Each structure stands twice: as C-alpha cells, then as structure tokens.
C-alpha cells in the first residue's frame, strides 16, 4: 500500500511538473509572438510615418512652388501702387522669383512687350488699333477712374463738365472765372505723351476733335509729379489716378458725378478706364504666367482694393 501511495504521489508530481512546463512553454511562445507582432507594428508605423513625411514634403514643395526666375514688367505708372503690393505678396509666396517693375508709361510698356524687352507690359488704357496683334494677349486685372484735381484753395470750383474739361485742356477756356471760379489764369497740367492716363483722359474728353492739348500746358511725368504740381499752385488743374487723391489736392465731380470706385465701376463716372497686362504666350515664362494668375486671384484682387483700385469681380 505504501508503495502504491508513493508511486501515485510520484506520478502526480510528474504530471504537475509536466503541466507547468507546458504552461511555461505556451507563455513563452505567446510572449515571443507578441514581441514579433509589436516589432511588425512598429515597423509598419515607421513606414507609415516615413510615407506621411514624404507626402507632407511633396505638398510643401507644391505649396511653396519650385518656380524661379525673373519677370520684367514695364509700363503704366498709374498701376505702380497696385503692382508694388502685388509683387511683394507674390514674391513672398514664391521666394525664388524676382519681379522687376519700371514705370515708363503705357505706350512704352506695350512697345517693350512687342520688342521683347519685357515679359509683361502694363497699360492703364485699352490698346490702340495700331498696337493690337492676334498674338499679343491682354488681361484686365483692375479698373480705375481718372480724377480731375485742383488746389484746395480753389474753393469756388467743385464741378466741371466733360465739355468744360475739353475746352480747358484745348486752350479755349483759360480763366477760372469762365467756369464759375475766381479771376485767375488756369495753369493746365498734363502728362507725357507715352502716358496711358493721358491717352485715356484725352479720349474720354474728346480732346483730339478740339485740336489737341494746348501748347501752354505743363507736362509732368507720372501721377505723383502732377499731384505735386497742383498742390503747389492755387490756379492749377490736373488729372491723376484715383489712388493719388489725398488731402493735398481736391477732386472735382465731373458732370455732377463723384470720383469714387463704385461709380467708376458702374460706368456712371465719365472718366474711367481699365488696368491691363499685355504679353505673348511664348515669352511670358512660367513665373510670368504664375504672376498673371495671382493678379486675378483673391489675394491679387485684395492688392487692387487696398490701393483704391476697382476689382474685376
């Protein structure tokens, strides 16, 4: 009996040891499997992170753009304030692009484009018939009004009709008293011949039909010099882009219509005109095309609005 009990005890002990060993082996196998799975998951996560980083890098490269080069723009001085802000904003987005702008007058900008000495011409008027070509493309990026300005000391004159403006600039009317002002010779200030503002102004008041600009007119190059000339002379009259209206001069109403962006865009204000780019498709370049697209974007149109221009939308 004792032998049987001892044998039974030994057998029971061996079974316990066997079960314990099996349990330990199973646990070890499970741990090894878990470890292997964790390693695989870690590798998967690493691969995913690398893929994500690569994708993010691709998006960043696309956003910042790999466009580079120099875009040469010449032409209208009326668009100077708008273009200056546009090129600053654009170059912040595309740091490898340089925009060079020279205000030389609309006619000069168009000639430069046709001669191939710029990438884009800027004009503050429509192209004349003799300037147009099938291959020469145009893009309106803003509208503007031409303000008629006098010295603030000229308190008696606040409004002139288009016909009176034509008579003053042709030399038919020479004294302020002829249009309701104080006695004094009118000092006429105009722009250089290449100016788009001058071309638009003369066309809008039908000056050519009245014999053209009076020989007694002073000619200033640029909106700024015209503004300064009128601000310094109590008897002066001039015309400038809307963006050059400030406290140093007084803007007149024309035919009773105030010189505002809203009224110019609606067509009610008589002296309004487009701001446009002209270019050749094969000469504008990749950076130039990107700039043209930017000019019509929301950011580009905000530059127009910020500088008293009239948006195209």
- Predicted confidence (pLDDT) per residue in 19-33, tens digit: 344 344 444 444 444
Q: What is the pLDDT of residue 267?
A: 81
Look-up: residue for tokens 């009709």? Answer: 161
Residue 287: both structure tokens together: 């950076």
Q: Residue 104 and residue 33: Cα distance in Å, rounded?
A: 78
Place of tokens 């000391």: 153
pLDDT tens across 30-44, in order? 444 444 454 444 444
Q: Is the pLDDT of residue 18 over 90?
A: no
Least confident interval from 156-160, 166-170, 181-185, 242-246: 242-246
Closest CA to 284 of 63, 66, 73: 73
Measured from the Cβ of residue 121, the count of other Cβ atoms closer than 10 Å reads 30
Residue of 263 and 5 predicted with greater confidence: 263
128 three-class SS: coil
pLDDT tier for residue 15 given thresholds of 50, 70 and 90: very low
CA atoms in the 13 A half-sphere facing the CB of 250:
18
Identify which of 210, 248, 211, 209 has the alpha carbon closest to the alpha carbon of residue 226: 248
Question: Which pLDDT does position 86 carry in this prediction?
Answer: 98
Q: Could you please report the per-residue DSSP string of 36-99?
A: HHHHHHHHHHHHHHHHHHHHHHHHHHHHH----EEEEEEE-STTHHHHHHHHHHHHHH-TTEEE
Q: Is the pLDDT of residue 143 over 50?
A: yes
């Amino acid at each position: 009996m004792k032998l049987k009990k001892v044998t039974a005890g030994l057998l029971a002990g061996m079974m316990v040891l066997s079960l314990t060993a099996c349990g330990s082996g199973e646990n070890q196998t499970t741990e090894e499997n878990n470890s292997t799975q964790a390693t695989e998951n870690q590798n998967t996560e690493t691969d995913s992170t690398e893929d994500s980083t690569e994708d993010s890098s691709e998006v960043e490269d696309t956003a910042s753009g790999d466009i580079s080069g120099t875009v040469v723009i010449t032409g209208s001085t009326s668009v100077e304030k708008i273009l200056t802000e546009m090129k600053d904003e654009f170059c912040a987005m595309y740091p490898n692009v340089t925009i060079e702008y020279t205000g030389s007058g609309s006619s000069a900008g168009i000639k430069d484009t046709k001669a191939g000495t710029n990438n884009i011409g800027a004009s503050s008027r429509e192209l004349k018939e003799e300037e147009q070509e099938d291959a020469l493309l145009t893009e309106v990026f803003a509208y503007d009004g031409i303000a008629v300005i006098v010295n603030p000391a000229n308190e008696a004159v606040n409004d002139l009709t288009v016909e009176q403006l034509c008579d003053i600039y042709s030399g038919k009317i020479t004294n302020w008293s002829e249009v309701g002002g104080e006695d004094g010779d009118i000092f006429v200030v105009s722009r250089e011949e290449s100016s788009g503002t001058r071309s638009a102004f003369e066309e809008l008041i039908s000056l050519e039909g009245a014999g053209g600009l009076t020989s007694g007119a002073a000619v200033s190059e640029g909106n700024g010099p015209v503004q300064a000339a009128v601000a310094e002379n109590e008897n002066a009259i001039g015309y400038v882009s809307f963006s050059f209206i400030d406290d140093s001069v007084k803007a007149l109403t024309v035919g009773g219509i105030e010189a505002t962006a809203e009224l110019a865009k609606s067509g009610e204000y008589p002296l309004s005109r487009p701001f446009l780019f002209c270019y050749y498709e094969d000469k504008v370049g990749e950076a130039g095309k990107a700039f043209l697209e930017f000019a019509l974007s929301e950011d580009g149109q905000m530059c127009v609005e910020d500088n008293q221009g009239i948006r195209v939308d």
